[in-house]
A and B are shown apart, each in its own frame.
Chain A
């Protein structure tokens, strides 16, 4: 499926803020499951510094800064991309074989499952999540089947609630409340998978939404989304599962960035010196072309 993507993020500060410095991970990249044919990131007002590069995990980054105080900032992305269907075959080993296969994977490069088992900045083991995940595992399951089972169990137990959490809510808290948004679903599932020996990480990106039957597609109602990446052995490799919608992340998804957790993949990370508060809005359009 081919898409045109439009993303606008606005930040406004109550007081003009000094020394704004950001790292953006907003530009989707080519990968095994997608091809990006065009992508343009524009920033207003134009920053005094901008260096584009790649981070450790291969995500496209823009490191930007303003030297004069700014009160309002707009990031705007236009991109065209093609996304392939998720593989349907289960090529993964039994879950019980996975630990040995992880140990055997002694490549320290970015695609290595080794990065995705240890606690990461925002995801540490949570006993309640570990216990929940263990219970959700079918006996004798393959790694891929285990991932799907955990995702479905989580989807069933959680209630989608945008008011319950914010971007800083730790997984333990969201799980205790059994409420949250895609970021919470994803981080809880990652914590659970790691606890049972499945390397797992965090993906941020776009999700195509379907208008109600008979109604036209509305512009700007889509939002940035998050889902799980998990390692299902050396043959299957990485698979992507969306616990918020209980499905494999297939043709409806566009990956923008990935990492161990939100801290590695956050679309906008920033440091400002400002006295007042800040406000941000986001508008996303994922326009199917096929």
Chain B
């Protein structure tokens, strides 16, 4: 990187014209390329447009494979969209980055002091440095936490700051994120994808690595947890950043928990696990404060833990961040932080925040009204960023959403709602190169910077999460929904040492992870639903094969199969029945709740199954076509089962999955045999039973004659070596149950073990010629009690 290099103007920069009066990341005010970019641009320019596209596709493929998606809400139900990666990173020289971090360190310390005061003595309000109504009227100021000292000694441990570059080239803070900052995991995924795109010879050796930040943060969390456990608390799969929670949990090797996993006992927060309750020392919460404890905060919360605040009050749990930290995200605080900083630290803010005026004060209100054309005017207590334009926001003197507040004009609106409003200087952001149709174009950007508190002070992720606007418009509008995200490269003068989370010099085994009861239950149901899906597909295939053969829906075998399926709510008139799609959805739902315990491949296999089934449902015709479709689906679901079998670590969760699967298979087989081997069953049903039981070849090899009731029952019910047989599956259940905690008590078999033992014995001593349907039904009913016993014994 030589700053004396002649200006280069390759084809990819044709037409790249920063707008006058606006800062650009790539070119300085004199139109010279900033030195930090030159090596990168030179490499990019050396590629043909096709090569560039191939590389970008590589990054996108990585994100798809990793299962990174973006949850999109537009009034209706949430939809998952492809991750909107803007492939070109934002490059920032390390000296400039250091200055940003220096300013943000001061700001982080300031925010900590403000928190300590708002939840302590309240002197800022009493002395008039902060208007009382911005605190007392702030829904995020949580009264039950007033006077509660955080166990860790600090209210704030993890912060994010949204920053943007103003026209004069300096950076400006646009918003503070203290509630439960999201995005650090997405920043990591952006980095992974971007590094796949820009492999050598791009100047990646000079890019600061992100792993060190996470290592420092993890060590800080370990210090806070002490000798007790640490975990991430998520609101669950319905949250728009749930993917990130699972990703971070896997990356840091932390347990991901939901509120219902926790109970509070004697002021101590405990995780309900399959091996009893385990105490926790630290929770990194991704759940918003108000939902954390329905007993003392939002009563309607279904995702909280009653008694959590009592545990905090008793000083038994460290939280990242303290409950109630959302209070300092309110836009209106920006109007007062500059003065509070001077008051509390004796210094001015090193990195200014966006100019903000609270309209609750007469002079400020008049100023905002007089300059409304240059302002964003919105809710004072809203934590949204200045470019998040809601229905009750005016920008440049215009209402962009519903204009209901506007009777009597903007001035009247400001006058009437003064204390509810703030004016913020309308942002003009810098532009950064983004790829569009074979060349680079300038697009506005903001950067989210992440900070973590460590034993030696605040540390910053050297990199971040950039949002890129969808058009060249550098006002707030372009940053609305529809933009994309990009990696941020902090560029070093020297090559940077490679770094990962792996500790150098040998290894240390982590303590075996805990298995929360809820996760165990979801894995059990995942096993059941996936096997139920497989069973139904096999029966449906048999029906369609017979239909193709006879073309007669009134054939006795077809009606018998249709009746059998109808009892499971499957309608054979739908080639891919809705109820089947529902089962796949249920399997996926259970899997979604334990994604942190699952390989991305397993998740991808389930998604692939769901997508294929949906697609086939559009066009499949009954008969041969549907039978073929069922074979396709069978292969897909076998792919999922194979991954579970071959790749999943044999920890307790795996046993729950297999326990569910074995129970479902034993259950389905008993149900089928009781009908297909009944004396009144039409001829040909025995052959179908063998086919559905995937045992055609085995039957040929094991018995000298065609199928009889005896041979079918011998092979599919009583054979301890046939994995499709009931006895085999009962034995599997016994095997797994015996290796799970809590299975037996004081050397005696638990009721669950007793049940399985009697079923096992009955099957082992049964005579295949003396096994009437009633006895199979009786076994089926007994087996159905297993779930209650699993719940009361293993999942209590």
A interface with B by C-beta (< 8 Å): 19, 21-23, 48-49, 51, 53, 55-57, 63, 65, 67, 103, 105-109, 112, 114-115, 117-119, 121, 263-264, 269-271
| Chain A residues with CB below 8 A from B265, complex form | 49, 65, 67
Alpha-carbon distance between A218 and B263 when the two chains are bound, in angstroms: 44
B310 x A271 contact (CB < 8 A): no
Task: Pick the residue among A53, A57, A108, A263 that contacts B125 (CB under 8 A).
Answer: A108
Residue of A with least CB distance to B360: A103
B143 x A108 contact (CB < 8 A): no
A106 x B126 contact (CB < 8 A): yes
Given contacts A65-B265, A115-B136, contact A121 B298 (CB under 8 A): yes
B143 x A56 contact (CB < 8 A): yes
> In the complex, what's the smallest C-beta–C-beta distance from A124 to chain B, in angstroms?
11
B144 x A56 contact (CB < 8 A): yes
| Chain A residues with CB below 8 A from B313, complex form | 53
Q: With A48-B266, A114-B136 given, can you name 18 additional A-B contacts, CB distance below 8 Å?
A: A21-B264, A21-B295, A23-B295, A51-B267, A53-B313, A56-B147, A103-B133, A103-B360, A107-B132, A108-B132, A108-B136, A112-B132, A112-B136, A115-B136, A117-B136, A121-B298, A121-B299, A271-B295
Alpha-carbon distance between A271 and B265 when the two chains are bound, in angstroms: 14
B263 x A49 contact (CB < 8 A): no
Residue of B with least CB distance to A266: B299
| Chain A residues with CB below 8 A from B267, complex form | 49, 51
Residue of A with least CB distance to B420: A118
> In the complex, what's the smallest C-beta–C-beta distance from B364 to chain A, in angstroms?
14
B interface with A by C-beta (< 8 Å): 122, 125-126, 128, 131-133, 135-139, 143-144, 146-147, 263-267, 294-296, 298-299, 306-307, 310, 313-314, 360
B133 x A117 contact (CB < 8 A): yes
Residue of B with least CB distance to A99: B419
> In the complex, what's the smallest C-beta–C-beta distance from B243 to chain A, in angstroms?
29
B132 x A106 contact (CB < 8 A): yes
A63 x B136 contact (CB < 8 A): no
Given contacts A55-B144, A56-B143, A269-B299, contact A108 B263 (CB under 8 A): no
Residue of A with least CB distance to B136: A114
Residue of A with least CB distance to B296: A23
| Chain A residues with CB below 8 A from B306, complex form | 19, 21, 271
> In the complex, what's the smallest C-beta–C-beta distance from A271 to chain B, in angstroms?
4
> In the complex, what's the smallest C-beta–C-beta distance from B405 to chain A, in angstroms?
14
Given contacts A56-B144, A271-B295, contact A108 B126 (CB under 8 A): yes
| Chain A residues with CB below 8 A from B310, complex form | 51, 63
Alpha-carbon distance between A67 and B266 when the two chains are bound, in angstroms: 9
- Lowest 8 CB-CB distances: which A-B pairs, in order? A118-B137, A271-B306, A114-B136, A56-B143, A108-B122, A114-B132, A108-B125, A106-B132
Alpha-carbon distance between A67 and B655 when the two chains are bound, in angstroms: 29
Residue of A with least CB distance to B263: A19
Alpha-carbon distance between A103 and B685 when the two chains are bound, in angstroms: 84
> In the complex, what's the smallest C-beta–C-beta distance from B150 to chain A, in angstroms?
17
Given contacts A21-B307, A49-B266, A109-B122, contact A118 B296 (CB under 8 A): no
Alpha-carbon distance between A270 and B299 when the two chains are bound, in angstroms: 9
Alpha-carbon distance between A88 and B731 when the two chains are bound, in angstroms: 83
Alpha-carbon distance between A144 and B265 when the two chains are bound, in angstroms: 47
> In the complex, what's the smallest C-beta–C-beta distance from A227 to chain B, in angstroms?
21
Residue of A with least CB distance to B125: A108
Given contacts A49-B266, A106-B128, A107-B126, contact A114 B299 (CB under 8 A): no
Task: Pick the residue among B132, B264, B298, B360 that contacts A105 (CB under 8 A).
Answer: B132
> In the complex, what's the smallest C-beta–C-beta distance from B393 to chain A, in angstroms?
19
| Chain B residues with CB below 8 A from A121, complex form | 298-299
| Chain A residues with CB below 8 A from B266, complex form | 48-49
> In the complex, what's the smallest C-beta–C-beta distance from A168 to chain B, in angstroms?
9
> In the complex, what's the smallest C-beta–C-beta distance from A106 to chain B, in angstroms?
5
| Chain B residues with CB below 8 A from A118, complex form | 133, 136-139
Residue of B with least CB distance to A259: B143
Q: Can you name 18 A-B pairs with beta carbons within 8 Å?
A: A19-B263, A21-B264, A22-B295, A23-B296, A49-B265, A49-B266, A51-B314, A56-B144, A57-B143, A63-B310, A65-B264, A65-B307, A103-B131, A103-B133, A106-B125, A115-B136, A117-B133, A118-B137
Residue of A with least CB distance to B121: A108
> In the complex, what's the smallest C-beta–C-beta distance from B362 to chain A, in angstroms?
11
A108 x B135 contact (CB < 8 A): yes
| Chain B residues with CB below 8 A from A264, complex form | 143
Residue of B with least CB distance to A67: B265
Residue of A with least CB distance to B294: A271
| Chain B residues with CB below 8 A from A117, complex form | 133, 136-137
| Chain A residues with CB below 8 A from B295, complex form | 21-23, 269-271
B137 x A56 contact (CB < 8 A): no
> In the complex, what's the smallest C-beta–C-beta distance from B292 to chain A, in angstroms?
13
| Chain A residues with CB below 8 A from B128, complex form | 106
Residue of B with least CB distance to A262: B299
> In the complex, what's the smallest C-beta–C-beta distance from B311 to chain A, in angstroms?
11
| Chain B residues with CB below 8 A from A103, complex form | 131-133, 360
From A57, A117, A118, residue with most partner B Cβ within 10 Å: A118
B263 x A114 contact (CB < 8 A): no
| Chain A residues with CB below 8 A from B264, complex form | 21, 65
Residue of B with least CB distance to A22: B295
| Chain B residues with CB below 8 A from A51, complex form | 267, 310, 314
> In the complex, what's the smallest C-beta–C-beta distance from A16 to chain B, in angstroms?
13
| Chain B residues with CB below 8 A from A19, complex form | 263, 306
Alpha-carbon distance between A107 and B147 when the two chains are bound, in angstroms: 15
| Chain A residues with CB below 8 A from B122, complex form | 107-109
| Chain A residues with CB below 8 A from B135, complex form | 108, 114
Alpha-carbon distance between A55 and B266 when the two chains are bound, in angstroms: 19
Alpha-carbon distance between A21 and B128 when the two chains are bound, in angstroms: 40
Residue of A with least CB distance to B127: A106
Alpha-carbon distance between A76 and B265 when the two chains are bound, in angstroms: 24
> In the complex, what's the smallest C-beta–C-beta distance from A107 to chain B, in angstroms?
6
Alpha-carbon distance between A121 and B265 when the two chains are bound, in angstroms: 27
Alpha-carbon distance between A20 and B138 when the two chains are bound, in angstroms: 31
Alpha-carbon distance between A49 and B267 when the two chains are bound, in angstroms: 9
> In the complex, what's the smallest C-beta–C-beta distance from B288 to chain A, in angstroms?
15
Alpha-carbon distance between A118 and B380 when the two chains are bound, in angstroms: 13
A56 x B132 contact (CB < 8 A): no
| Chain A residues with CB below 8 A from B294, complex form | 271
Residue of B with least CB distance to A104: B132
Alpha-carbon distance between A67 and B263 when the two chains are bound, in angstroms: 10
Alpha-carbon distance between A121 and B138 when the two chains are bound, in angstroms: 12
Residue of A with least CB distance to B133: A114
| Chain B residues with CB below 8 A from A23, complex form | 295-296
| Chain B residues with CB below 8 A from A105, complex form | 132
Residue of A with least CB distance to B306: A271
Residue of B with least CB distance to A19: B263
| Chain B residues with CB below 8 A from A67, complex form | 265
Alpha-carbon distance between A119 and B147 when the two chains are bound, in angstroms: 23
From A22, A53, A103, residue with most partner B Cβ within 10 Å: A103
